[in-house]
Structure 1
């Protein structure tokens, strides 16, 4: 009878199915997932203008890039701009304009 007191019924059974473990891990990963922020039009235009200026003048820039779980930072010189695909190339890495959250000109 002591086994069934309190939470004893579940305390005695410590086994977990693989499906349950996977479901718990998936829920944990979903909680850490960030939604893609929507920039207002003025902020997006400011970013585009600064990228254009950095491309013309060959100034180094530092970009904060959206990531599903964590934002990243890329530094370098804008080497190419693709206005049809809305992408920017910085030191060999193509970055979609929609993923750029902040830009700072390193002068």
Structure 2
């Protein structure tokens, strides 16, 4: 009976050794997190013009707006009425919270 050989078959070597250095675990977790990161969508001038009109309509007519926002790890949607737009700092306010204009990836008005 050759038990040493069985340890090396398939994934036997790893299965028999459950030790992992802490720095290896940190690196593995970091790689997994990096793979889950979303890339920023680049919008063209026409798309920005449409988004600008919808934000303006929400601000002036107090209409509810859905804004798809960039976030590295999750899909983020801001829903509410635009309260203010600060062109100097490139941001807008919905329900008392500021958001960066450059993070907008899409918009639609609620009917």
- Aligning the two structures, in what range does the TM-score lie when normalised by the shorter sequence? 0.7 to 0.9
- Who is 2:4 aligned against? 3
Q: In the TM superposition, what is the alpha-carbon distance from 1:29 to its structure 2 partner?
A: 0.6
SS in 1 for 2:81: strand
Gaps of 5+ in 2: none
User: TM-score of the superposition, structure 1-length normalised?
Assistant: 0.88
Which residue in the other structure is 2:32 paired with? 28
Q: Distance in 2 between matches of 1:10 and 1:54?
A: 58
**Unmatched 5+ residue regions in structure 1?**
none
Give the length in aligned residue pairs.
Answer: 107
Greater mean alpha carbon deviation, residues 2-11 or residues 39-48:
2-11
In the TM superposition, residue 10 of structure 1 has moved relative to its aligned partner by 4.1
1 CA distance for matches of 2:56 and 2:14? 63
* CA RMSD between the two structures: 1.6
Could you tell me which residue of structure 1 aligns to residue 70 of structure 2? 66
